[in-house]
Copies of this chain bind each other. A is one copy, B any other.
């Protein structure tokens, strides 16, 4: 399976990312008020949806950053094979799953159960981080599917960033029992790391 095949897997993955990111909005529910409630009551009810807005923005940013990283990774590959496609499928399973823990956080962040809800949310990212490492293993172990010319140095830099993700998400999951908002900040703050991760490389020359 050569370049055309890589494009197809990329297009299907893009579709799943785009749909999952857009379905997030379905989790924000229109407030139901009694028929005599007026502007003040509706404004208050909309403000009371802050956990939904926060969870929406957080998960939107997370999926957007995952999408960007997914593509940058694919640009290092010259082909895909079946094991890689199943590793990619596992990652897409988890991307598709994200709207559910997002909805749980939106429903429970401002009431009892917030700790369990946030641990469930951060735990999803522990699995996602594992899925990215599995994808890396399926694609870059022994440079299996990697393009010629990508220097080992660039591969090590990216692999180390991927490996660093898992313990931080585990830490965030533990922190959820202490402070859900700190855990959320830790979970979504990792975007800054992923958004800045450098995939660029120059073809290796003499002595790279």
- At the interface, yes or no: A21 with Cβ under 8 Å from chain B? yes
**Max chain B Cβ within 10 angstroms of own Cβ: one of A16, A24, A31, A41:** A16
A86 within 8 A of B: yes
Q: Is the interface of A mostly helix, strand, loop or mixed?
A: helix
CA gap between A191 and B56 in the complex, in Å:
27
Binary flags per residue of A63-98, CB closer than 8 Å to B gives 1, else 0: 010011001000000000010011001001100110
Interface size class of A (residues with CB under 8 A): 35 or more
- List chain B residues, Cβ under 8 A from A85: 68
Within 8 Å of chain B (Cβ to Cβ): is A154?
Answer: no
**Residues of chain B within 8 A of A113, CB atoms compared:** 33, 37-39, 41-42
Which A residues lie at the B interface, using CB under 8 A?
Answer: 8, 11-12, 14-28, 30-31, 33, 35-43, 46, 56-57, 60-61, 64, 67-68, 71, 82, 85-86, 89, 92-93, 96-97, 99-100, 103-104, 107-108, 111-117, 120, 177, 195
Top-9 shortest CB links A-B:
A15-B18, A42-B113, A39-B116, A19-B22, A42-B116, A38-B112, A43-B116, A64-B89, A30-B103
